[in-house]
Amino acid sequence: MIRVVCVDDSAFMRKAISGMLEKEPGIAVVATGKNGREAIELVKIHRPDVLTLDIEMPEMDGLTALRRIMAECPTSVLMLSSLTTEGSRAAIMALDLGAADCLAKDQSQLSLSIGNLRDELVSRVRAIASGGRRGRFHDTVSLPGTPVFRPGQFDMICIGSSTGGPPVLETVLTALPPGFPIPVVVAQHMPEVFTRSMAERLDEMCNVPVVHLSDGAPIEAGKVHIAPGGKNAHLRRAGPRRWTVACNRDPAGTLYFPSVDVLLASAATEVGGRTLAVVATGMGEDGVKGAAKLVAAGGTILAQSEETCVVFGMPKAVTQAALSIASLSPKQIGEALRSVAPGAGAGPIPARRAG
Protein backbone atom coordinates (compact mmCIF):
# COMPACT_ATOMS: atom_id res chain seq x y z
CA MET A 1 0.00 0.00 0.00
CA ILE A 2 1.33 3.44 -0.99
CA ARG A 3 0.76 5.86 1.88
CA VAL A 4 0.33 9.50 0.86
CA VAL A 5 0.09 12.81 2.73
CA CYS A 6 -1.49 15.69 0.77
CA VAL A 7 -0.76 19.31 1.73
CA ASP A 8 -2.40 22.28 -0.04
CA ASP A 9 -3.77 25.57 1.29
CA SER A 10 -6.90 25.15 -0.86
CA ALA A 11 -9.56 22.95 0.73
CA PHE A 12 -10.91 22.31 -2.77
CA MET A 13 -7.53 21.05 -4.01
CA ARG A 14 -6.98 18.90 -0.90
CA LYS A 15 -10.32 17.24 -1.47
CA ALA A 16 -9.75 16.85 -5.21
CA ILE A 17 -6.26 15.39 -4.88
CA SER A 18 -7.23 13.08 -2.03
CA GLY A 19 -10.30 11.91 -3.93
CA MET A 20 -8.32 11.09 -7.07
CA LEU A 21 -5.77 9.07 -5.12
CA GLU A 22 -8.22 7.30 -2.80
CA LYS A 23 -10.07 5.87 -5.81
CA GLU A 24 -6.95 4.05 -6.93
CA PRO A 25 -6.22 0.53 -5.66
CA GLY A 26 -3.10 0.31 -3.55
CA ILE A 27 -3.04 4.01 -2.59
CA ALA A 28 -4.19 5.43 0.77
CA VAL A 29 -4.23 9.11 1.76
CA VAL A 30 -3.30 8.93 5.45
CA ALA A 31 -3.47 12.67 6.23
CA THR A 32 -3.99 16.13 4.73
CA GLY A 33 -2.66 19.55 5.74
CA LYS A 34 -3.03 23.19 4.74
CA ASN A 35 0.46 24.71 5.11
CA GLY A 36 4.16 23.97 5.34
CA ARG A 37 4.22 23.72 9.13
CA GLU A 38 1.57 21.02 9.04
CA ALA A 39 3.45 19.24 6.24
CA ILE A 40 6.55 18.90 8.43
CA GLU A 41 4.59 17.54 11.38
CA LEU A 42 2.49 15.16 9.28
CA VAL A 43 5.57 13.71 7.60
CA LYS A 44 7.20 13.07 10.97
CA ILE A 45 4.05 11.45 12.34
CA HIS A 46 2.99 9.33 9.37
CA ARG A 47 6.27 8.69 7.50
CA PRO A 48 4.45 8.51 4.14
CA ASP A 49 5.78 6.95 0.97
CA VAL A 50 4.91 10.16 -0.92
CA LEU A 51 4.09 13.71 0.12
CA THR A 52 2.20 15.93 -2.36
CA LEU A 53 3.14 19.50 -1.47
CA ASP A 54 1.82 22.81 -2.75
CA ILE A 55 4.36 25.61 -3.23
CA GLU A 56 2.33 28.72 -2.45
CA MET A 57 0.85 28.46 1.06
CA PRO A 58 0.34 30.77 4.08
CA GLU A 59 2.34 30.60 7.35
CA MET A 60 5.07 28.49 5.70
CA ASP A 61 5.43 28.02 1.94
CA GLY A 62 6.25 24.73 0.26
CA LEU A 63 9.90 25.50 -0.50
CA THR A 64 10.64 26.37 3.13
CA ALA A 65 8.86 23.22 4.27
CA LEU A 66 10.73 21.13 1.70
CA ARG A 67 14.11 22.32 3.01
CA ARG A 68 13.09 21.35 6.56
CA ILE A 69 11.67 17.99 5.50
CA MET A 70 14.77 17.00 3.56
CA ALA A 71 16.99 17.99 6.50
CA GLU A 72 14.89 16.47 9.29
CA CYS A 73 12.88 13.63 7.74
CA PRO A 74 13.80 12.91 4.09
CA THR A 75 10.70 11.97 2.13
CA SER A 76 9.75 11.42 -1.52
CA VAL A 77 7.97 14.64 -2.48
CA LEU A 78 5.77 15.51 -5.46
CA MET A 79 5.50 19.30 -5.71
CA LEU A 80 2.35 20.92 -7.07
CA SER A 81 3.11 24.17 -8.88
CA SER A 82 0.98 26.77 -10.61
CA LEU A 83 1.39 26.83 -14.38
CA THR A 84 3.03 30.28 -14.42
CA THR A 85 6.55 31.59 -14.94
CA GLU A 86 6.90 32.29 -11.22
CA GLY A 87 5.48 28.89 -10.36
CA SER A 88 7.81 27.14 -12.77
CA ARG A 89 10.89 28.83 -11.30
CA ALA A 90 9.81 27.73 -7.85
CA ALA A 91 9.27 24.21 -9.17
CA ILE A 92 12.80 24.01 -10.58
CA MET A 93 14.14 25.25 -7.24
CA ALA A 94 12.10 22.56 -5.46
CA LEU A 95 13.66 19.85 -7.62
CA ASP A 96 17.09 21.21 -6.76
CA LEU A 97 16.17 21.07 -3.05
CA GLY A 98 15.28 17.40 -3.28
CA ALA A 99 11.72 17.01 -4.59
CA ALA A 100 11.34 13.91 -6.74
CA ASP A 101 9.05 15.53 -9.32
CA CYS A 102 6.73 18.45 -10.01
CA LEU A 103 3.19 18.50 -11.36
CA ALA A 104 1.65 21.66 -12.78
CA LYS A 105 -1.84 22.52 -11.59
CA ASP A 106 -4.29 25.09 -12.88
CA GLN A 107 -7.13 25.31 -10.40
CA SER A 108 -9.21 27.48 -12.74
CA GLN A 109 -9.11 24.72 -15.38
CA LEU A 110 -9.34 21.75 -13.02
CA SER A 111 -12.91 20.81 -13.98
CA LEU A 112 -11.94 20.82 -17.68
CA SER A 113 -8.81 18.70 -17.31
CA ILE A 114 -9.66 16.51 -14.33
CA GLY A 115 -9.01 13.29 -16.26
CA ASN A 116 -5.55 14.33 -17.43
CA LEU A 117 -4.59 15.58 -13.97
CA ARG A 118 -5.79 12.35 -12.35
CA ASP A 119 -3.77 10.19 -14.73
CA GLU A 120 -0.63 12.30 -14.24
CA LEU A 121 -1.03 12.46 -10.47
CA VAL A 122 -1.58 8.73 -10.03
CA SER A 123 1.22 7.66 -12.38
CA ARG A 124 3.73 9.99 -10.73
CA VAL A 125 2.77 8.98 -7.21
CA ARG A 126 3.18 5.32 -8.14
CA ALA A 127 6.49 5.95 -9.90
CA ILE A 128 7.93 8.02 -7.05
CA ALA A 129 6.83 5.46 -4.47
CA SER A 130 8.44 2.64 -6.46
CA GLY A 131 11.74 4.50 -6.38
CA GLY A 132 11.74 4.97 -2.62
CA ARG A 133 14.24 7.64 -1.55
CA ARG A 134 16.97 6.86 -4.04
CA GLY A 135 18.71 9.36 -6.21
CA ARG A 136 19.33 12.37 -3.97
CA PHE A 137 22.86 11.40 -2.94
CA HIS A 138 24.09 10.16 -6.31
CA ASP A 139 27.57 11.72 -6.03
CA THR A 140 28.43 9.46 -3.08
CA VAL A 141 27.54 6.20 -4.83
CA SER A 142 30.58 4.12 -5.76
CA LEU A 143 30.26 2.47 -9.19
CA PRO A 144 32.63 0.81 -11.68
CA GLY A 145 34.95 2.96 -13.78
CA THR A 146 33.78 5.68 -16.11
CA PRO A 147 34.24 5.11 -19.88
CA VAL A 148 36.65 7.58 -21.45
CA PHE A 149 36.00 8.76 -25.00
CA ARG A 150 38.41 10.47 -27.36
CA PRO A 151 38.15 14.05 -28.60
CA GLY A 152 36.50 14.19 -32.01
CA GLN A 153 34.69 10.88 -31.52
CA PHE A 154 31.19 12.42 -31.54
CA ASP A 155 29.36 15.20 -33.37
CA MET A 156 26.26 15.27 -31.15
CA ILE A 157 25.24 14.47 -27.58
CA CYS A 158 21.57 13.76 -26.77
CA ILE A 159 20.19 13.38 -23.25
CA GLY A 160 16.72 12.13 -22.28
CA SER A 161 15.25 12.30 -18.78
CA SER A 162 11.97 12.46 -16.90
CA THR A 163 11.09 12.07 -13.21
CA GLY A 164 14.09 13.17 -11.15
CA GLY A 165 15.85 14.54 -14.21
CA PRO A 166 16.59 18.23 -13.46
CA PRO A 167 19.10 17.63 -10.62
CA VAL A 168 20.78 14.97 -12.75
CA LEU A 169 21.02 17.38 -15.68
CA GLU A 170 22.56 19.96 -13.36
CA THR A 171 25.27 17.51 -12.26
CA VAL A 172 25.99 16.33 -15.80
CA LEU A 173 25.92 19.68 -17.59
CA THR A 174 27.92 21.65 -15.04
CA ALA A 175 30.74 19.15 -15.65
CA LEU A 176 31.18 20.41 -19.22
CA PRO A 177 34.19 22.74 -19.55
CA PRO A 178 34.21 26.17 -21.22
CA GLY A 179 34.60 25.84 -24.97
CA PHE A 180 33.04 22.37 -25.03
CA PRO A 181 33.10 21.59 -28.77
CA ILE A 182 29.96 19.48 -29.25
CA PRO A 183 26.26 20.47 -29.28
CA VAL A 184 24.09 18.91 -26.57
CA VAL A 185 20.32 18.45 -26.98
CA VAL A 186 18.16 17.59 -23.96
CA ALA A 187 14.62 16.15 -23.89
CA GLN A 188 13.20 16.44 -20.36
CA HIS A 189 9.54 15.56 -19.78
CA MET A 190 8.04 18.86 -18.54
CA PRO A 191 5.56 21.56 -19.56
CA GLU A 192 7.07 24.33 -21.69
CA VAL A 193 7.01 26.95 -18.96
CA PHE A 194 9.04 24.53 -16.79
CA THR A 195 11.60 23.68 -19.49
CA ARG A 196 12.10 27.39 -20.17
CA SER A 197 12.78 28.09 -16.48
CA MET A 198 15.09 25.08 -16.30
CA ALA A 199 17.08 26.38 -19.28
CA GLU A 200 17.43 29.80 -17.66
CA ARG A 201 18.62 28.28 -14.39
CA LEU A 202 21.11 25.95 -16.08
CA ASP A 203 22.44 28.83 -18.17
CA GLU A 204 23.31 30.64 -14.94
CA MET A 205 25.11 27.58 -13.55
CA CYS A 206 26.97 26.02 -16.48
CA ASN A 207 30.31 26.78 -18.10
CA VAL A 208 28.63 26.64 -21.53
CA PRO A 209 25.56 28.55 -22.78
CA VAL A 210 22.19 26.85 -22.29
CA VAL A 211 19.32 27.82 -24.59
CA HIS A 212 15.63 26.96 -24.87
CA LEU A 213 14.85 25.64 -28.35
CA SER A 214 12.24 26.93 -30.77
CA ASP A 215 11.12 25.58 -34.13
CA GLY A 216 13.77 26.05 -36.82
CA ALA A 217 16.54 27.06 -34.40
CA PRO A 218 20.13 26.06 -35.20
CA ILE A 219 21.89 23.41 -33.13
CA GLU A 220 25.23 25.01 -32.30
CA ALA A 221 28.52 23.54 -31.14
CA GLY A 222 29.42 24.50 -27.58
CA LYS A 223 25.82 25.01 -26.47
CA VAL A 224 23.28 22.97 -24.53
CA HIS A 225 19.84 23.04 -26.16
CA ILE A 226 16.74 22.30 -24.03
CA ALA A 227 13.79 20.97 -26.04
CA PRO A 228 10.54 22.85 -25.29
CA GLY A 229 7.96 21.05 -23.17
CA GLY A 230 4.81 19.98 -24.97
CA LYS A 231 6.63 19.44 -28.28
CA ASN A 232 8.98 16.93 -29.84
CA ALA A 233 12.45 17.90 -31.04
CA HIS A 234 13.42 16.48 -34.46
CA LEU A 235 17.02 17.05 -35.54
CA ARG A 236 17.42 18.10 -39.18
CA ARG A 237 20.74 18.09 -41.10
CA ALA A 238 21.53 21.50 -42.60
CA GLY A 239 25.01 20.72 -44.00
CA PRO A 240 28.27 19.07 -42.96
CA ARG A 241 28.21 18.93 -39.15
CA ARG A 242 25.36 21.44 -39.13
CA TRP A 243 21.84 20.84 -37.84
CA THR A 244 18.61 22.65 -37.06
CA VAL A 245 15.61 21.45 -35.07
CA ALA A 246 11.92 21.09 -35.88
CA CYS A 247 9.72 21.45 -32.79
CA ASN A 248 6.19 20.11 -33.22
CA ARG A 249 3.60 17.60 -31.95
CA ASP A 250 4.52 14.91 -34.48
CA PRO A 251 4.15 11.99 -34.59
CA ALA A 252 0.54 11.52 -33.54
CA GLY A 253 0.12 9.29 -30.53
CA THR A 254 3.28 10.42 -28.76
CA LEU A 255 2.87 9.62 -25.07
CA TYR A 256 5.49 11.98 -23.60
CA PHE A 257 6.60 15.43 -24.75
CA PRO A 258 9.35 16.04 -25.56
CA SER A 259 9.82 12.41 -26.53
CA VAL A 260 13.24 10.84 -25.97
CA ASP A 261 12.37 8.23 -28.59
CA VAL A 262 11.75 10.94 -31.19
CA LEU A 263 14.97 12.81 -30.36
CA LEU A 264 17.15 9.69 -30.51
CA ALA A 265 15.47 8.36 -33.65
CA SER A 266 16.11 11.67 -35.43
CA ALA A 267 19.72 11.59 -34.24
CA ALA A 268 20.06 8.10 -35.72
CA THR A 269 18.85 9.38 -39.09
CA GLU A 270 20.46 12.83 -39.19
CA VAL A 271 23.71 12.29 -37.25
CA GLY A 272 24.18 8.53 -37.19
CA GLY A 273 27.03 6.72 -35.45
CA ARG A 274 28.74 9.91 -34.29
CA THR A 275 26.03 10.39 -31.64
CA LEU A 276 26.51 9.83 -27.91
CA ALA A 277 23.23 9.52 -26.02
CA VAL A 278 22.33 9.35 -22.34
CA VAL A 279 19.09 7.88 -20.98
CA ALA A 280 18.56 9.10 -17.43
CA THR A 281 16.03 8.68 -14.63
CA GLY A 282 12.34 8.52 -15.50
CA MET A 283 9.22 6.39 -15.47
CA GLY A 284 8.09 4.30 -18.41
CA GLU A 285 10.17 3.20 -21.38
CA ASP A 286 10.56 6.39 -23.40
CA GLY A 287 13.93 6.22 -25.14
CA VAL A 288 14.33 2.49 -25.71
CA LYS A 289 12.93 2.52 -29.27
CA GLY A 290 15.00 5.54 -30.26
CA ALA A 291 18.07 4.03 -28.59
CA ALA A 292 17.65 0.84 -30.62
CA LYS A 293 17.60 2.88 -33.85
CA LEU A 294 20.62 4.86 -32.73
CA VAL A 295 22.65 1.76 -31.84
CA ALA A 296 21.72 0.23 -35.22
CA ALA A 297 23.16 3.38 -36.82
CA GLY A 298 26.40 2.96 -34.85
CA GLY A 299 25.67 5.36 -31.98
CA THR A 300 26.66 4.94 -28.34
CA ILE A 301 24.28 4.84 -25.35
CA LEU A 302 24.97 5.48 -21.66
CA ALA A 303 22.34 4.72 -19.00
CA GLN A 304 21.96 6.12 -15.51
CA SER A 305 22.57 3.52 -12.81
CA GLU A 306 19.67 2.06 -10.83
CA GLU A 307 21.17 3.09 -7.50
CA THR A 308 21.11 6.77 -8.48
CA CYS A 309 17.72 7.01 -10.21
CA VAL A 310 14.62 8.47 -8.61
CA VAL A 311 12.71 6.16 -10.97
CA PHE A 312 14.58 3.38 -12.78
CA GLY A 313 12.15 3.02 -15.68
CA MET A 314 13.71 4.55 -18.79
CA PRO A 315 17.31 3.49 -18.02
CA LYS A 316 16.10 0.01 -17.06
CA ALA A 317 14.42 -0.46 -20.44
CA VAL A 318 17.58 0.55 -22.28
CA THR A 319 19.80 -1.58 -20.06
CA GLN A 320 17.62 -4.69 -20.28
CA ALA A 321 17.56 -4.35 -24.06
CA ALA A 322 21.39 -4.48 -24.00
CA LEU A 323 21.62 -1.11 -25.75
CA SER A 324 23.81 0.78 -23.27
CA ILE A 325 27.58 0.32 -22.88
CA ALA A 326 27.60 1.36 -19.21
CA SER A 327 25.38 2.22 -16.23
CA LEU A 328 26.76 5.29 -14.48
CA SER A 329 26.04 7.80 -11.74
CA PRO A 330 25.27 11.38 -12.87
CA LYS A 331 28.76 12.45 -11.79
CA GLN A 332 30.30 9.70 -13.91
CA ILE A 333 28.11 10.64 -16.88
CA GLY A 334 29.40 14.19 -16.61
CA GLU A 335 32.98 12.91 -16.53
CA ALA A 336 32.36 10.71 -19.58
CA LEU A 337 30.90 13.60 -21.57
CA ARG A 338 33.72 15.87 -20.50
CA SER A 339 36.26 13.38 -21.84
CA VAL A 340 35.30 14.19 -25.45
CA ALA A 341 36.63 17.76 -25.08
CA PRO A 342 40.21 18.26 -26.32
CA GLY A 343 42.62 18.42 -23.40
CA ALA A 344 39.92 17.57 -20.84
CA GLY A 345 41.98 14.81 -19.24
CA ALA A 346 40.97 13.83 -15.72
CA GLY A 347 41.67 17.10 -13.94
CA PRO A 348 39.26 19.08 -11.79
CA ILE A 349 36.08 20.52 -13.29
CA PRO A 350 36.73 24.20 -14.08
CA ALA A 351 34.91 27.05 -12.41
CA ARG A 352 31.53 27.99 -13.84
CA ARG A 353 31.51 30.79 -16.34
CA ALA A 354 30.77 34.26 -15.06
CA GLY A 355 27.83 36.38 -16.12
CATH number (domain holding residue 158): 3.40.50.180
Predicted structure pTM score: 0.91
- Same domain, yes or no: 103 and 211: no
* Dist CA 213 CA 236 (whole Å): 13
What pLDDT, on the 0 to 100 scale, is given for residue 123? Answer: 93
| Residue 78, domain CATH | 3.40.50.2300
pLDDT exceeds 70 at position 214: yes
Q: 281 in a domain, yes or no?
A: yes
Same domain membership, residue 73 and residue 180: no
Is pLDDT larger for residue 239 or for residue 109?
A: 239
pLDDT in tens, 71-92: 999 999 999 988 788 889 999 9
Q: Are 192 and 281 in the same domain? A: yes
Helix pair angle (165-173, 192-205), 10° resolution: 30
What pLDDT does 262 receive? 98
Considering 189, 212, 225, 234, which one is annotated as catalytic? 189
For 153-183, write each residue's pLDDT tens digit. Answer: 999 999 999 999 999 999 999 999 999 999 9
> Could you say which of 88, 162, 305, 329 is catalytic?
162
Mean pLDDT of the 130-154 span: 72
- The single residue of 138, 261, 286, 305 carrying the catalytic annotation is 286
The per-residue pLDDT for range 4-60, each reduced to its tens digit, is 999 999 998 999 999 999 999 999 999 999 999 999 999 999 999 999 999 999 999
Query: Is the confidence at residue 354, as pLDDT, over 80?
Result: no
β-bridge pairing 50-54 and 224-226? unpaired
Say yes or no: 74 and 191 in one domain: no
Q: Is 154 in the same domain as 298?
A: yes
Asked if 237 and 301 sit in the same domain, the reply is yes
232 lies in the same domain as 251: yes
| Residue 264 to residue 201: CA distance in whole angstroms | 25
Which letter, b or e, does each residue of 130-161 get, where b requires 16 or more Cβ atoms within 10 Å of its Cβ? bbeebbbebeebeeeebeebeeeebbbbbbbb
The pLDDT of residue 113: 56
Same domain? For 21 and 166 the reply is no
Q: Is the pLDDT of residue 355 over 50?
A: no
196's enclosing H/E stretch is helix 192-205
Q: Is residue 9 part of a domain?
A: yes
- 139 noted as active-site residue: no
Domain boundary among 131, 154, 183: 131
Q: Indicate if 10 belongs to the active site.
A: no
Domain encompassing residue 161: 140-338
Average pLDDT estimate for 111-140: 73
Residues 126 and 155 in one domain: no
From the list 331, 335, 336, 348, the residue with the least C-alpha distance to 142 is: 331
Which of the two residues, 121 and 354, has the higher pLDDT score?
121
Question: Does residue 119 have an active-site annotation?
Answer: no
User: For residues 94 and 164, what is the distance between their CA atoms, to the nearest angstrom?
Assistant: 11
Residue 352 resides in a domain:
no
Asked whether residue 351 is assigned to any structural domain, the reply reads no
Task: Report whether 291 contacts 355 (CB < 8 A).
Answer: no
pLDDT band at 141 (very low <50, low <70, confident <90, very high): low
- Percentage of the residues of the chain whose pLDDT score is greater than 70: 90
Q: What's the confidence (pLDDT) of residue 145? A: 81
Q: Give the strands of the sheet with 2-7, arranged side by side.
A: 27-33, 2-7, 50-54, 77-82, 101-105
When the pLDDT of each residue in the chain is averaged and rounded to a whole number, the result is 91
pLDDT digits over 300-324, tens only? 999 999 999 999 999 999 999 999 9
Residues 89 and 217 in one domain: no
CA distance 104 to 101: 10
Q: Which residue has the higher pLDDT, 334 or 143?
A: 334
| The predicted structure's pLDDT at residue 172 | 98
**Both 109 and 23 in a single domain?**
yes
Residues 184 and 109 in one domain: no
Domain boundary among 81, 101, 131: 131
Domain count of the chain?
Answer: 2
Residue 39 in domain: yes
Q: What are phi and psi of 265, to 5 degrees?
A: -65, -40
| Across 139-148, 264-273, 278-287, least confident range | 139-148
